[in-house]
């Protein structure tokens, strides 16, 4: 379940979000890119999460390799080293290797390796340490969705989630896209972000935020959140009662 949701968000969304994602988070201003086969076979087969040939705004051409990682992996340095030298041998171009860590808590995996003959490292990016507002600067709603995995800083989590939900909803083109992105935000990315208890609380919060959008019906919100209409009605009733108490 966890693996399939991981693949759904990060491989499906990234096909659209890629230019904005690497520009906003990695500082790579891509002029053009070319899809590369991601099956690397030598003595064994390796399949990176994301692989492209890129030319940036400075005219430099390189192979861009990106892996998403939720948990620490002691073998990561060796896996990235294998990718690096397989790609170098195949394309004879500089390799830009990135690991985007989307997990929480401590990290126990090396980012570099060195011995008497070889020195190697990859770029390790902690999504949880990037200001979520920086991620929201992306033009593509597919990239904005990842803001939920960013750093809320000192901001109230409820306000941060509200900002992300509104930004994703307003930037989506059409009701279908809006519903799809909000569904990903709640059911896929929040699953990756935390435990089921935290996910349920944030899910209720986002449903509450969605109720402010007049274009979305109770049925739309229920379908988007994959809950019953009765559950949405219950949250709406709670919000209405809360509003009356403040008058």
In whole angstroms, what is the distance from residue 95 CA to residue 167 CA?
34
In whole angstroms, what is the distance from residue 144 CA to residue 77 CA?
29
Query: How many residues are recorded in the chain?
Result: 247
Handedness of CA 231, 234, 239, 240 (dihedral sign): positive
- Three-state DSSP class for 215? coil
State the Cα angle at 11 between 201 and 188, rounded to 5°. 10
- DSSP states of 49-70 as a string? SEEEEEEETTS-EEEEEEEEES
pLDDT reported for residue 14: 75
pTM of the predicted protein model: 0.66
Structure token digits, residue 16: 């659209």
Alpha carbon of residue 54 to chain centroid: 21
pLDDT reported for residue 77: 92
Residue in 182, 204, 202 with CA at minimum distance from that of residue 193: 202
pLDDT tens for each residue of the chain, 247 residues long: 445 555 566 667 777 788 888 888 888 998 988 888 766 655 455 678 889 999 999 999 999 999 988 888 888 999 999 999 999 999 999 999 999 988 765 567 888 999 999 999 999 998 888 999 999 998 888 888 888 888 888 888 778 877 888 898 888 888 777 777 777 776 555 555 544 444 556 667 667 766 766 556 788 777 766 678 888 888 888 777 665 554 4
Any idea which residue has 């070319």 for tokens? 34
pLDDT reported for residue 197: 41
Structure token digits, residue 73: 């992996």
Residues 185 and 210 sit within 8 Å (Cβ to Cβ): no
pLDDT reported for residue 80: 93
């Amino acid at each position: 379940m966890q693996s399939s949701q991981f693949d759904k968000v990060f491989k499906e969304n990234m096909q659209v979000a890629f230019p904005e994602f690497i520009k906003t988070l990695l500082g790579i201003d891509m002029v053009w890119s070319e899809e590369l086969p991601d099956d690397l076979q030598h003595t064994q087969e390796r399949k990176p999460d994301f692989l492209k040939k890129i030319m940036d705004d400075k005219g430099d051409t390189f192979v861009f390799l990106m892996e998403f990682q939720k948990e620490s992996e002691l073998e990561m340095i060796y896996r990235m080293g294998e990718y690096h030298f397989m790609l170098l041998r195949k394309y004879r171009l500089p390799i830009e290797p990135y690991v985007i860590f989307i997990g929480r808590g401590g990290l126990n995996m090396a980012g570099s390796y060195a011995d008497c003959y070889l020195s190697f490292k990859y770029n390790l990016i902690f999504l949880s340490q990037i200001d979520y507002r920086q991620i929201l600067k992306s033009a593509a709603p597919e990239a904005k969705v990842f803001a939920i995995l960013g750093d809320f800083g000192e901001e109230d989590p409820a306000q941060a989630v509200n900002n992300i939900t509104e930004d994703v909803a307003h930037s989506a083109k059409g009701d279908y896209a809006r519903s799809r992105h909000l569904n990903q935000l709640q059911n896929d990315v929040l699953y990756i972000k935390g435990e089921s208890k935290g996910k349920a609380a944030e899910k209720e919060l986002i449903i509450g935020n969605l109720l402010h959008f007049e274009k979305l019906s109770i049925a739309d919100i229920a379908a988007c959140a994959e809950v019953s209409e009765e559950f949405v009605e219950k949250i709406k009733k709670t919000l209405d009662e809360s509003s009356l108490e403040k008058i």
